[in-house]
Amino acid sequence: MSERLVEMLSAEDIQARVKELGAEITQAYKDKPLVLVVVLKGSFIFAADLCRHIDLPLRVDFLGVRSYGEGTETSGVVQITQDLSKPIAGEHVLIVEDIVDTGLTIAHLMDLFRTRGPKSVNVCALLHKPARARVSVKVDYLGFTIEDKFVVGYGLDFAERHRNLPYIGIVERD
């Protein structure tokens, strides 16, 4: 079986949108200190680019989450594999996600974080697949709405491959 990558969003389009998102976030928080919570692993490239377009006093923390096995379907179970390194009580928190698909991961993280007493919790996602939503979640800062295709690249993997692509693509097999 041969595999082909078809580009869905170019590196240039992604960079331009990430810059706009950074400016939007900078405007919205108006000099307030912010904690970026990067959801690993898929968001690492997006977060690295995004944070360089945010002009605010910023702290970055990482959260390890597992909801997928080796396949492309969510298990519906969200497991925290690595917790934050510091408390978020009294802080403005922005969760940085690569993609909101069923919404289960973000819904779970919102519930979890709210028990920890932050001043606010918002969500920034690069991609959203509304066709697959199983719970409704509010994405406060969104890069692109995409159709229901399994995408890779720019941090996103398929069985740990393709994270290093500078663009977002679809894996096609024939």
Helical H segments across the chain, by residue range? 11-29, 44-51, 104-114
Pairing of strands 120-128, 92-100: parallel
Q: How far is the CB of 10 from ligand 5GP (least distance, A)?
A: 17
β-partners of residue 53 are: none
Pick 26 or 102: Cβ nearer ligand 5GP? 102
For ligand 5GP, the binding residues (CB under 6 A) are 42, 67-68, 74, 97-105, 150-152, 156-158
* Shortest Å, Cβ 2 to ligand 5GP: 20
- Residue 89 CB, nearest approach to ligand 5GP (Å): 25
Of 39, 24, 29, 22, the closest CA to residue 91 belongs to: 29
Q: Which of 31, 98, 101, 148 is catalytic?
A: 101
State the minimum distance, in angstroms, from the CB of residue 34 to ligand 5GP. Answer: 21
Two structure tokens written together for 120: 């606010």
Taking the least distance from each CB to ligand 5GP, the nearer of 29 and 141 is: 141
Nearer to ligand 5GP, 103 or 118 (CB): 103
Gap between the Cα atoms of 40 and 43, Å rounded: 6
Residue 101 annotated as catalytic: yes
* CA proximity to 8, closest of 102, 139, 144: 144
Q: Are 169 and 6 in contact (CB under 8 A)?
A: yes
Q: Closer to ligand 5GP at the Cβ: 29 or 154?
A: 154
As given in the structure block, the two tokens for residue 101 are: 């698909």
Enumerate the active-site residues: 101
